[in-house]
Amino acid sequence: MAGISSESLSAALEQLEAKLPTASLQLATELFGILGTVDSSAGLRRALTDPSRSGDEKSALVQQLFGGKVSADAVEIAGGLASMRWASARDIGDALETLAATVVIAVAENKSAVSASGITGLEELENDLFVFNRRVASSHEVQSALTDPHASAEAKTALAKKLVPGASEEAKLLIAQAVSSPRGLKPSRLVDDFASLAAKRQQRWIATVSVTRPLTVEQADRLQAGLNALYGRELKVNFSVDPALIGGVRVQVGDEVLDASVVARLSVLRRQLAG
């Protein structure tokens, strides 16, 4: 996905963030259900991505089709996608799939307790998806069964769940979606895509801190506390020593960089002097 569709997806993901702290698997299930309806009708996809129709008209169509059948949040999210611009009719379905998977991943992320094995909900989800794909890869019979065009979605889902009986509910939902509606991909490839989304989201809460020399325990604790307060959550902080910084500190959380190093300040000064 590129160009205008990529911009629309980014905007939709940003809007979705407000709903993620209280998101549920039911919301994700509803979004996957809407995706199934959109995928089943080329005419509907064209109507929802028709550049000659206004965003309000396309959102109204979503309301007409799904209002009262799913939650108001699901209708709002799908209607928001319809109101945006898309380079191709398929792109809106790809975006809806991404949003639904992101909701599932957020539910795993929001688990307050660390599991008995000492890992977070996101880490547990990634591990479950990895275990599923590893077990699929180890059996040609399983691969054939999951891609058999004559097998029902229910049969494929039942088989998939038998492969990972101890998986989290979040992982089971994503795996079920991948094997029942792979949308032209191999199920394992779609599971890989879901795992990549989870890994990318996890990176948003990992802080990589570069300093010119090792910090004391007290300094590291103060920095950890300050970053936790800034981002409103407990971050996993990785420290590294980079003498090239000359002085100061550089922090990266996901795609965001906080740079208070001398090198960064000199670079800004050079740009200002250059006009």
Residues 1, 97: one domain? yes
Instruction: Write down the pLDDT at residue 59.
Output: 97
Residues 224, 241: one domain? yes
Instruction: Write down the pLDDT at residue 204.
Output: 73
| pLDDT tens column, 232-267 | 777 778 888 888 777 778 888 877 787 776 555 546
Nearest-10 crossing angle of helices 169-180, 121-137: 40
34 and 74 Cβ atoms separated by less than 8 Å: yes
Residues 194, 233: one domain? no
Residues 7, 89: one domain? yes
In angstroms, the CA 67 to CA 84 distance is: 19
Residues 37, 131: one domain? no
Residues 213, 198: one domain? no
Residues 188, 90: one domain? no
Q: Tell me the mean pLDDT in the region 175-197.
A: 96
The count of structural domains within the chain is 3
Residues 194, 133: one domain? yes
Residues 32, 93: one domain? yes
Give the lowest-confidence range in 7-11, 160-164, 188-192, 208-212. Answer: 208-212
| pLDDT above 90: percentage of residues in the chain | 65
Residues 60, 121: one domain? no
Instruction: Write down the pLDDT at residue 91.
Output: 96
Residues 196, 215: one domain? no
Residues 220, 260: one domain? yes
Q: Is the pTM of this model over 0.85?
A: no
- The boundaries of the domain holding residue 80 are 1-110
Instruction: Write down the pLDDT at residue 261.
Output: 65
DSSP letter string, 20-76: GGG--HHHHHHHHHHHHHHHT-HHHHHHHH-TTS-HHHHHHHHHHHHBTTB-HHHHH
| End residue of a domain, out of 155, 177, 203 | 203
| Residue 2: band (very low, low, confident or very high) from pLDDT cuts 50, 70, 90 | confident
Instruction: Write down the pLDDT at residue 213.
Output: 85
Helix (H, G, I), strand (E, B) or coil at 207: strand
| pLDDT tens column, 87-103 | 999 999 999 999 999 99
Mean pLDDT rounded to a whole number for the chain = 89
| pLDDT above 70: percentage of residues in the chain | 91
Beta bridge partners of 241: 211
| End residue of a domain, out of 203, 218, 235 | 203
| End residue of a domain, out of 203, 222, 255 | 203
Instruction: Write down the pLDDT at residue 117.
Output: 55
